[in-house]
């Protein structure tokens, strides 16, 4: 019989896969996943054009070497093919026809003043000031307040807030516009400092996507991990006993030496009812639900296709309410050519032609607030005791810092840490994971 400890990993998103990957040599790993596929937000839909299959991502799409160091190392170890991607965004207002994008933000002030309306010039000036002043405020810890408070205190215009901040931030954190104001200002500033030091247009970052969709890396990871993977297996409780942990499935109870809970924080709280210490952290993270649609209906982007960028931010006023949405132009984002144009829209208020809808999905994503940011100071202590460890994108990336929360890198980093915590409490002859 094997002397290795038996470890259950609950949730097969990147956090769970990271934990399983780092445990693969030292533990017998069983992965439980509620969905009928592995990957969580690494969710690829395969479309067929003639004899060709194209993998299109619908949630996680991009990463880069600068702010995803551990994830990129993982991809290198798995020998995953990556594609280069030039960023770029375009804002458009469907009602007024106003639009601007990465190229306009790269113009000089004189050029902007000459060619564009006053609304855009105000925004351009505020964006330029924000990128100049905000990093200083970040370093002096003057940005440890909500975004709303930071923008009020520093007198930023409505044009800048609604034409620049909302549009970029809703796409980066996948939450509706009304939730953006509670984001810590430091988190937004850290994002810009890390991603866009060379300009306002978002094109100075060496973005990467996974060739033929993120499911390609998930498949490769599963081959290397070699775990017992149980899809369509929702866990309903985990209970620590004197000798191990009971994992309660709808079909019965299984016993493990230790468990990694790699679900979202609210789901983890419901599973670990006997861990009030952990729930005090987990219950502080609220989630927002996003309706994502993969389709071929171009009515969600401007009529002039030369304006289509990878990230398109639309705005329209309907029944007196201004609404905005994000439309990813997937051909450009993932760098493929095809017969059809493919879009993924998030919370789009427009009617998408039902005949052009390929797949509809719902994803939930943590709402990052000053409280969630503050708990990053000691969240990793959660895994110092108990046989039940936690990980997920609601943790920050330990290599990058407390402002990188909610990404593939932060989820991956927390999985590395959870695996290390499991191995620290394993018999002495087993190797340790370095974090």
Ligand X SMILES: Cc1cc2nc3c(=O)[nH]c(=O)nc-3n(C[C@H](O)[C@H](O)[C@H](O)COP(=O)(O)OP(=O)(O)OC[C@H]3O[C@@H](n4cnc5c(N)ncnc54)[C@H](O)[C@@H]3O)c2cc1C
What count of residues does the chain have? Answer: 435
- Report if residue 258 touches ligand X, rule: CB under 6 A: no
How many residues make contact with ligand X (CB under 6 A)?
35
Q: How far apart are CA 124 and CA 118, in angstroms?
A: 10
Residues between 307 and 346 that touch ligand X (CB under 6 A): 346
Q: How far is the CB of 66 from ligand X (least distance, A)?
A: 13
Helix, coil or strand: residue 273? coil
- Nearer of residues 163 and 415 to ligand X, judged by Cβ: 415
Considering the complex, state which of residue 58 and residue 99 has its C-beta at the smaller distance from ligand X. Answer: 58
Q: Please name the residue that has the structure tokens 């306009």.
A: 104
The 245-249 sheet, strands edge to edge: 237-240, 245-249, 252-256
Q: Which residue, 120 or 373, is less far from ligand X as judged by CB?
A: 373
Token look-up 């619908």 returns 58
Please report how close the Cβ of residue 201 comes to ligand X at its closest, in angstroms.
Answer: 18
Residue 14 lies near ligand X (rule: CB under 6 A): yes
Q: Which of 9, 20, 61, 400 binds ligand X (CB under 6 A)?
A: 61
Which residues, 6+ apart, have CB-to-CB distance to 129 below 8 Å? none
Stretch binding ligand X (CB under 6 A), from 5-13, 97-105, 195-203, 309-317: 5-13
Residue 127 in contact with ligand X, rule: CB under 6 A: no
| Nearer of residues 5 and 345 to ligand X, judged by Cβ | 345
Between the CA of residue 390 and those of 75, 257, 411, what are the distances in Å? 23, 15, 11
- Write the binding mask 389 to 418 for ligand X: x where contact by CB under 6 A, - elsewhere: ---xx------------xxx--x-------
CA dihedral for 21, 22, 27, 30, sign (positive or negative):
negative
267 binds ligand X (CB under 6 A): yes
DSSP 396-408: EETTTEEEEESSH
CA nearest neighbour of 170 among 365, 393, 425: 365
The answer to whether 322 touches 119, Cβ cutoff 8 Å, is: no
Interface with ligand X, residue 12, by CB under 6 A: yes
Largest CA distance in the chain: 78
Residue 14 or 112 having the CB closest to ligand X: 14
- Regarding 347 and contact with ligand X (CB under 6 A), the answer is no
Residue 227 CB, shortest distance to ligand X, in Å, is 14
Based on the shown chain and the rule CB under 6 A, indicate whether residue 263 belongs to the binding site for ligand X.
yes
Q: How many CB atoms lie within 10 A of CB 211?
A: 16
x/- string (CB under 6 A) for ligand X, residues 226-255? --------xx--------------------
Tokens of 269: 């709280």
Cα distances (angstroms) measured from residue 87 to each of 52, 61, 69, 248, 366: 26, 12, 19, 44, 24
Position 372 contacts ligand X (CB under 6 A) = no
The site for ligand X (CB under 6 A) is made up of 10-16, 32-35, 40-41, 59-63, 174, 234-235, 262-263, 267, 290, 292, 346, 363, 365, 392-393, 406-408, 411
């Amino acid at each position: 019989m094997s002397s290795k400890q038996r470890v259950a990993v609950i949730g097969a998103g990147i956090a769970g896969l990271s934990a399983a990957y780092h445990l693969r040599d030292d533990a017998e790993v069983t992965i439980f996943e509620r969905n009928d596929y592995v990957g969580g937000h690494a969710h690829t839909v395969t479309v067929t054009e003639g004899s060709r299959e194209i993998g299109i991502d619908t949630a996680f799409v991009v990463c880069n070497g600068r702010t995803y160091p551990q994830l990129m190392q993982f991809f290198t170890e798995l020998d995953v093919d990556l594609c280069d991607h030039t960023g770029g965004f375009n804002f458009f207002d469907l009602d007024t026809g106003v639009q601007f994008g990465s190229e306009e933000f790269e113009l000089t002030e004189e050029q902007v003043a000459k060619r564009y309306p006053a609304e855009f010039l105000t925004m351009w000036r505020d964006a330029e000031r924000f990128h100049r002043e905000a990093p200083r405020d970040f370093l002096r810890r003057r940005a440890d307040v909500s975004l709303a408070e930071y923008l009020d205190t520093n007198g930023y215009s409505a044009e800048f807030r609604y034409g620049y901040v909302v549009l970029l931030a809703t796409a980066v954190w996948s939450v509706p516009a009304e939730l953006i104001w509670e984001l810590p200002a430091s988190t937004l500033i850290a994002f810009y400092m890390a991603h866009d030091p060379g300009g306002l247009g978002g094109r100075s970052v060496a973005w990467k996507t996974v060739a033929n969709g993120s499911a390609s890396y998930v498949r490769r990871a599963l081959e290397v991990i070699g775990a017992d993977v149980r899809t369509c297996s929702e866990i309903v409780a985990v209970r620590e006993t004197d000798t191990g942990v009971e994992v309660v499935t709808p079909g019965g109870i299984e016993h493990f030496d230790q468990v990694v809970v790699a679900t979202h924080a609210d789901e983890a709280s419901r599973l670990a009812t006997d861990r009030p210490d952990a729930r005090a952290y987990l219950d502080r993270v609220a989630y927002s639900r996003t309706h994502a649609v993969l389709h071929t209906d171009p009515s969600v982007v401007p009529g002039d296709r030369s304006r289509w960028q990878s990230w398109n931010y639309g705005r329209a006023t309907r029944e007196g309410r201004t609404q905005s949405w994000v439309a990813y132009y997937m051909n450009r984002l993932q760098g493929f050519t095809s017969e059809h144009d493919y879009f993924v829209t998030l919370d789009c208020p427009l009617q998408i032609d039902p005949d052009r809808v390929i797949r509809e999905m719902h994803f939930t994503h943590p709402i990052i607030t000053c409280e969630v940011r503050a708990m990053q100071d000691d969240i990793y202590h959660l895994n110092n005791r108990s046989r039940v460890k936690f990980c997920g994108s609601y943790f920050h990336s330990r290599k990058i810092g407390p402002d990188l929360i909610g990404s593939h890198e932060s989820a991956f980093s927390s999985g590395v840490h959870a695996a290390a915590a499991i191995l620290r409490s394993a018999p002495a002859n087993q190797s340790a994971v370095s974090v």
